[in-house]
Structure 1
Amino acid sequence: MDPEQRSQTISSEFKENKEKETWRRTILLSFQSLGIVYGRMSTAPLYVFGSILPQDLKSDKEIYELFSFIFWTIAIIPLLKYAFIVLTADDDGEGGTFPLYSLLCRHAKLGLLPSDRSASEIVDHDRGSPMIKVLSRARKAIEKHKSCQYLLLFMALFGCCMIISDGVLTPSVSVLSATSSFKRSLVKLSHRLISAQKTREHVDNILNRLPVPMACAILVCLFALQHYGTQKIGFLFAPIVIVWLIFITGIGIFNILQNPRILHAISPLYMFRFLKKVDIRSWKLLGSIVLCVAGSEAMFANLGHFSKKSIKVTFVCLIFPALILCYAGQAAFISKHLGTSDDNVNLSESVPDKNLHHAFAVLSVFASAVGSQATITASFSIINQCQALSCFPRVKVVHTSDKIHGQVYIPDVNWLFMTLSVGITVGFHDIAPIGKATGLAIISGMLVTTCLMSLVIALSWGKSLFIAASFLLFFGSLEAVYLSSCLLNFPRGAWFLTVLLLLFFMVMLSWQYGTVKKYQFDVENKVSVEWLTDLSPGLGISRLPGIGFIYTDVVSGIPAFFSHFITNLPAFHQVLIFVSFKSLPVPYISEDQQYLIGRVGPKEYKIYRCIVLYGYRGHIRDSDDFEDHIISSIGEFIAREEHDHEALTSPEAMMVLGRTMGDGNALIPLTVSSSNNSQQTLPNYKALRNPSDDSAEGSSAPVRRKRVRFVLPKNRPQMNDSVREELQDLVDARESGTAYFLGQSHVSVRRDSNLLKKFLIMIYVFLDKNSREPPVALNIPHAALLEVGMVYTI
């Protein structure tokens, strides 16, 4: 079986194993999803009506009409749009704004991300991706006009920023609303126990200051739990959500029985009555009603943490009926007691038994903390995807599960979110303005998903433009109604979303712009292979024993920083390997098609090129034996090259290989032990290490690490002498030591650049200096690292 057929076989097996899902696993994931995905949607009743000012509600009929909006909004957006349509647009099990964009990049070739087209085409072929051969008018127009492609990238980044901003706002509004309910419960309890009026007033003043510091303490505890990972947090939070759903469902049923007329409001006629007599005051109320679908986007964004079946089954069978009963009961209670008290709009007031108020207050505090989890994990997923596709600065990503690769934790972002959430809570100390900003973030993210989804239907799925336009008009018109209402609330708190949007969008846009410009500079300033193989002997270059790894972003030619090094120091190693990392707009690259191996120049120069492919959910650079696999793959390439006619006829041909170390036909790996102070030129592979491990190493005896040596197979008579000789040279070079060449960039701005470009590059330089080092640099010991400075004029 040739490499291409083997890649297709393993890729198909990978997909089949991923699609197989037993009911036992579905139930387990459904249980975990309650604590992660649906905590947000389940706690929305705390602030949907609570974020409405009591004086804005004029009659009980208006309450009925608002409940009609709630019922049909939940039925149309999370149930119909997300559970039954958008979830089917997953990118090999991954969901969110960027996976939708990646589908357009891969299937319709509409992306602007700096990835190698030849590598993308090879992976598309191996994965069996359905490329659209018939060019539709829409696709022709987008491919022809560069501005359309920039618009798509802008929409993708904008949607990601909305989800990230929601991840900052939701913990604040959820926890603050719960602590406010807890405060009201304590006030009632104090009035029951204390009879003196002055003492009551003094206690009330103390309790009125309680929600904000209590909310801040809960937020700190919530974000401190994130490092335990999705699985552990899901098992911890799921029972709380189950108890919460049972509680609010029971409250809803009781209040419905007290006022069964509320069920008539399920009729859409009540919505038309509302629209018939609408004015600016009542139109603003929809800005709070849209919070009932808060967490819908998290259903799709958290898809990589769970599965489509588990998310859909949980919502249809449990979340949807529980929420409808809860909102119906709350609307029935408010309509019956409208005007009697300003607190009647709060969910806690609808609890029938006053003795249960305190239990409800405590439970709501725990449930609100759980409700924030959906947007936090969704933000981690989105940022991980953006970072892999060069749209977010380098941050440390911790994969918290060996079985589900989409479960990630990002420490730096986690503490940034905690700081922003606490700051928002202290700054606003009121759920109304925070709720307005949250509603605008929710509906803006949904509109972006609707627009990208309509393009996926037309360009990726190959459906007719009529179907795509129908999807856009049906769901987009409803979301546009809510968007207009949220914009009316802009002066009342929604303005703060603009601050968060500018913060995150400028970070993402500047990093993407700087990365693309640096890549273009590298491509424009690379030198040809002939410069190294033909002209360099005239410079008196000598060959040194050992292997030289040259890490570069370009996938053809010689990078400018290495030619600069050779010009000033005319010597390089016996074996050179140009290594490039290329992220592709796909979630994962299977291990059997992870490397593209080829030659640079004639055979006698022993110069090779290795392109390492990875998806936006992969973590290839964190592997301990990464470079051992590269050497093993190059050995396989040398052994197979004699039988590959394409490689013989084309000097730039690349061969698809995988992590074959241990079962290859060329080099046999042997594991030996080596102390960390005996071979300074050997790589220290561990990229993500605990600081406590470093201190332990410094105080103890030298640590013995595993080191792989390669030997040639003895009984291979079919191996040609030239192949055996080249393999032996590779083994000898490995034993002589390894050096690593890395370009050190210094970015400067052209004097004739406009103000916007100068501003973007200035932000990029600041982020580059303060972000995490390139992962490849973390794997290299300083004694073997050669950094070559280059000035990038952009």
Structure 2
Amino acid sequence: MIFFFFFSYMYIYTDLIVWISVAILILLFLIQRFGTDKVGYTFSPILCVWFVLIFGIGIYNTLKFDLSVVKAVNPKYIIEYFRRNKKEAWISLGGVVLCTTGCEALFADLGHFTVPSIQISMCCLTYPAIVLAYTGQAAFLRKNNELVGDVFYSSIPKAIYWPMFVVAVLAAIIASQAMISATFSIIQQSLSLGCFPRVKIVHTSAKYAGQVYIPEINYLLMLACIGVTLGFRTTAKIGNAYGIAVVFVMTLTSSFLVLIMIMIWKIHIIFAISYIVIIGALELLFLTSVLYKFDQGGYLSLVFAAILITIMFVWNNVFRGKYNYELEHKVSANKLKEILDDTKFCRIPRLALFYSELVHGIPPIFKHYAENVPALHSILIFVSIKTLPISKVPFEERFLFRCLEPKDLNVFRCVVRYGYIDVRNEQESFEKILVEKLKEYISDDFWMSQRMLNNDEEDGEVNDEMKQVEEIKEEEALSDTEDVKEVEEVKGQEVVKREIGEVDKAWNSGVVHLIGEGEVVASKGASIGKRILIDYVYNFLTRNLRQSNEVFDIPHKRMLKVGMIYEL
């Protein structure tokens, strides 16, 4: 009977802790929409208190129990430890690696904070506090080795036990916050490289462009964390999963660093081999240790990694296939002129923005639209919005225009380029900025073509035999030439004014956003694997994630979708 009540009490107690953890997780994910900067400013004082406390407790325990533990920095003790324990020592490395968890988040945090701030905080506060905390716990265990299972809380002086308990819980929450922010940053960069489905990126800081919030990922992470908490119920299995994730990150980072050393830094091969032998061997030792606990919760990280890799592979593979299809079936300039010159085709005095992934040429979906709707707006702009694998694109270089021949068709190509940390200006509408840049392009393009034309005429008219005659008549013709230039400049200004006036007229009449929604299906002769990849996995992702109009905040009242089926 006593054992029954004991185990019932323990079950209810554990169950209560699990549900409290779930409530904390829900609260943590709900506040993410306020932004990394606001959450960070709220948590920073707590984190500073945490490091100061573990720093002080570490010094206190070291001085009180056993100052000689500082001798542990001597590497001979770890060698003796492995000699005595052999396999058990190797297995224990899986628990030792948890002492370094959190360091991998520093790389992702570079997108949220400046490099000097991370260097100063790590070297002056974080690292010394952690080392002294573990030193103090080691000194405490020298006198109380029976309390090894609960050494952290047991080593806290009784006078500050409960304040430290509260701060420790808050510090654990903050550590989770750092990993959430890192996830947002990684997803954003994957999206910019075309390796992840469309999700909405919300920039939460005007000062730090790397601080982002992704609603879909936030809530998916919340559900995953709640599921893991309710499924595992103990920190032992979660720790094993986290350990495998951390060591894999370190090992992969080192592997890529070797490639950077050889291909980019071009350092001597001896240094690269030395790095592999020393650092690589150490990391592989830790990796084999954590993989030993694969069946004790460690499989979770690899399952999540496999799911993400599958999503990224499917999206990137089909996305590139669709893009190549559009490239092969794009509408030529002659075909475009033929479509617009058709007597049955009418032009409406409005401005249309036709969105497409294709950077070069007219997408095939336009031909599909023209065949079914024999009417088009007087100013047509094919817009491609691209995120480049660089941090920022200067505003003056963001919009690249080109006028499609013949110019009287008023059809333009526009590539809008963003860096992966560029923040869109939400104070001014995208279409207004695009129209202003179009008018600048029309003016600059006209005067550029005029200067090239004048240079060609001068080169053709002036030859070696006539140079002396031209020099004699130069002074007499100077006044006439200036008059001609003034007349040409006035005419040119009238032409530019007329073309810009057509753009303004179309802009004032109204703007419509035409979005090509191409449905991708596997071709009739495709293999079963390709059918599953395209018809089920890819289309499932496209149906359940944001469409392009939601990502770029296109007004619904002025939006028109054009559908077409692509067979890959």
TM interval, short-chain normalised: 0.7 to 0.9
User: Which residue is 2:471 aligned to?
Assistant: none
Cα distance change, pair 197–767 in 1 and its aligned pair in 2 (3 A): closer
Indicate whether 1:350 and 2:155 are aligned.
yes
Q: What does residue range 726-741 of structure 1 map to in structure 2 within 5 Å?
A: 726-741=499-514
Helix, strand or coil at the partner of 1:635: helix
- The C-alpha deviation readout for 1:558-578, integer Å capped at 9, x for no partner, is 110101122233332222111
Report how far residue 624 of structure 1 moved.
4.0
Corresponding letter in the other structure for 1:522: E
Deviations 1:625-684 (A, max 9, x none): 2111111111111111134359979xxxxxxxxxxxxxxxxxxxxxxxxxxxxxxxxxxx
The 3 A distance-change label for structure 1 pair 444 and 204 is closer
Greater mean deviation of Cα atoms: 464-473 or 741-750: 464-473
| Alignment partner of 1:306 out of 84, 107, 113 | 113
Partner of 1:748: 521
Q: Secondary structure at the match of 1:518?
A: helix
Residue identity matched to 1:382 = I
Q: CA deviation at 1:788?
A: 1.8
Q: What residue identity is the alignment partner of 2:56?
A: G
**Cα deviations across residues 515-552 of structure 1 (Å, max 9, x unaligned)?**
21211111111121111124653564332222221111
Residue by residue, what CA displacement relative to the aligned partner does 1:85-130 show, whole Å, maximum 9, x if unpaired?
A: xxxxxxxxxxxxxxxxxxxxxxxxxxxxxxxxxxxxxxxxxxxxxx
Aligned to 2:434, what secondary structure does the other structure show?
helix
Amino acid in the other structure paired with 2:312:
M
Q: Is the 8 A contact 1:641 1:647 kept in 2?
A: no
Q: Is the 8 A contact 2:69 2:139 kept in 1?
A: yes
The offset of 1:397, in angstroms, is: 2.1
The separation in 1 between residues aligned to 2:359 and 2:225, in whole angstroms, is: 42
Given the two structures, how large is their TM-score scaled by the length of structure 2?
A: 0.86
Higher helix share: 2
User: CA separation in 2, counterparts of 1:204 and 1:605?
Assistant: 79
* Greater C-alpha radius of gyration: 2
Cα displacement string for residues 65-104 of structure 1 (whole angstroms, at most 9, x for unaligned residues): xxxxxxxxxxxxxxxxxxxxxxxxxxxxxxxxxxxxxxxx
Residue number among 381, 394, 403 corresponding to 1:599 in the alignment: 403
Instruction: State whether residues 339 and 345 of structure 2, in contact with CA within 8 Å, keep that contact through their aligned partners in structure 1.
Output: no
What whole-Å deviation, never above 9, does each CA across 1:118-156 have from its counterpart, x for those lacking one?
xxxxxxxxxxxxxxxxxxxxxxxxxxxxxxxxxxxxxxx
Q: Which of 222, 241, 245 is the aligned partner of 2:51?
A: 245
Identify the residue that residue 792 of structure 1 maps to in structure 2: 566
Which whole-Å CA distance do the structure 1 matches of 2:79 and 2:3 have between them?
49
Is the 2:147–2:154 contact (alpha carbons within 8 Å) kept by the matching residues of 1? no
| Amino acid aligned to 1:732 | K
Counterpart secondary structure, 1:372: helix
The letter of the residue matching 1:774 is S
- CA–CA separation in structure 1 for the residues paired with 2:491 and 2:381: 27
Distance in 1 separating the partners of 2:227 and 2:551: 35
Q: Tell whether the 8 Å contact from 2:400 to 2:415 is kept in structure 1 after alignment.
A: yes
* TM-score, normalising length: structure 1: 0.63
1:448 to 243, 246, 252: 252
Match of 2:67 in 1: 260
Mapped contact 2:141–2:147 kept (Cα < 8 A): no
| Alignment pair present for 1:214 and 2:26 | no
- SS for the counterpart of 1:740 is strand
Matched, 1:552 2:356: yes
Query: Aligned to 2:290, which of 486, 511, 536?
Result: 486
Q: Are 2:537 and 1:763 aligned?
A: yes
Cα displacement string for residues 679-701 of structure 1 (whole angstroms, at most 9, x for unaligned residues):
xxxxxxxxxxxxxxxxxxxxxxx
2:551 equivalent to 1:774: no
In 2, Cα distance between the equivalents of 1:748 and 1:387? 23
| Aligned-CA RMSD value | 2.7
1:389 matches 2:193: yes
Matches of 2:427 and 2:260 in 1, distance apart?
A: 34
For 1:725 and 1:260, how far apart are their aligned partners in 2? 86
Q: Aligned residue for 1:225?
A: 31
Deviation at 1:487, TM superposition (A): 0.9
| 1:572 equivalenced with 2:345 (yes/no) | no
How far apart, in 2, do the equivalents of 1:205 and 1:570 lie? 72
The letter of the residue matching 1:330 is Q
Partner of 2:40: 234
Q: Distance in 1 between matches of 2:10 and 2:160?
A: 21
Which of 565, 584, 587 lines up with 2:388 in the alignment? 584
The answer on 1:608 being equivalent to 2:412 is yes
Separation (CA, whole Å) in 1 of partners of 2:303 and 2:436: 50
Separation of aligned partners in 1, 2:339 and 2:174? 65
Q: Is 1:516 aligned to residue 320 of structure 2?
A: yes
Question: 1: CA distance between counterparts of 2:333 and 2:500?
Answer: 23
Residue 433 (structure 1) aligned to one of 237, 242, 261: 237
Per-residue deviation at 1:221? 1.8
Deviations 1:713-748 (A, max 9, x none): xxx958533222212222222223223322122111
- The 2-side partners of 1:282 and 1:290 are apart by 13
Structure 1 position 252, deviation (Å):
1.7
Q: Distance in 2 between the 1:386 and 1:496 partners?
A: 22
For 1:561 and 1:647, the matched residues in 2 are separated by 37
Deviation larger for 512-521 or 431-440: 512-521
Task: Provide the C-alpha distance between the structure 2 equivalents of 1:730 and 1:487, rounded to a whole number of angstroms.
Answer: 64
Question: CA offsets, 1:567-620, max 9 Å, x none?
Answer: 233332222111111121112212121011111112222211110001222344
Is 1:368 matched up with 2:180? no
Q: Does the aligned pair in 1 maintain the 2:339–2:370 contact within 8 Å?
A: no
Q: Distance in 1 between matches of 2:337 and 2:540?
A: 38
Return the alpha-carbon distance in structure 1 between the equivalents of residues 40 and 557 of structure 2.
44
Q: Where does structure 2 lack aligned partners over 5 or more consecutive residues?
A: 454-488
- Segments of 5+ residues of structure 1 without an aligned counterpart are 1-195, 650-715
Q: Kindly indicate whether residue 107 of structure 2 is the aligned counterpart of residue 334 of structure 1.
A: no
Alpha-carbon shift at residue 283 of structure 1 (Å): 1.1
Q: Would the alpha carbon gap of residues 430 and 781 (structure 1) be closer, same or farther in structure 2, given more than 3 Å must change?
A: closer
C-alpha distance in 1 between matches for 2:45 and 2:140? 27
| SS at structure 1 position matched to 2:219 | helix
Amino acid at match of 1:764: Y
Task: Check 1:201–1:566 CA distance in 2 against 1; reply closer, same or farther (3 A cut).
Answer: closer
Q: 1:636 aligns with which of 415, 440, 448?
A: 440
CA contact (8 A) 1:622 1:775 kept: no
Q: Is the 1:550–1:579 contact (alpha carbons within 8 Å) kept by the matching residues of 2?
A: yes
- Show CA shifts across 1:362-392 (max 9, x none): 2221221112111111111111121222222
> Structure 1 473/206 Cα, relative in aligned 2: closer, same or farther at 3 Å?
same
From the superposition, tell whether residues 536 and 638 of structure 1 become closer, same or farther in structure 2 (CA, over 3 Å): closer
CA distance 1:450–1:642, shift in 2 (3 Å): same
Contact 2:348 2:377 in 1 (8 A): yes
Give the residue type in structure 2 aligned to 1:772.
R
Shift in CA distance, 542/349, structure 1 to aligned 2, threshold 3 Å? same
- Separation in 2 of the partners of 1:453 and 1:583? 25
Q: How do 1:189-208 residues align onto structure 2 when only pairs under 5 Å count? A: 206-208=12-14
Cα offset for 1:400?
1.1
Structure 1 pair 364/448, CA: closer, same or farther in 2 (3 Å)?
A: same
Cα offset for 1:336? 3.6
1:246 counterpart letter in structure 2:
V
The answer as to 2:275 corresponding to 1:502 is no
Shift of 1:315: 0.6
Report the Cα offset of residue 470 of structure 1: 4.1
Hey, what's the Cα distance between the residues in 2 that align with 1:408 and 1:517? Answer: 30
3-state secondary structure, aligned to 2:104: helix
Distance verdict in 2 for CA 1:199–1:468, change over 3 Å: closer
The higher relative CO (CA closer than 8 Å, separation ≥ 6) is in: 1
Q: Secondary structure at the match of 2:111?
A: helix
**Paired position in structure 2 for 1:269:** 76
Distance (whole Å) between structure 1 residues aligned to residue 56 and residue 506 of structure 2:
73
Among all aligned residue pairs of Structure 1 and Structure 2, give the percentage whose two residues are the same amino acid.
35
2:281 maps to 477
CA contact (8 A) 2:345 2:374 kept: yes
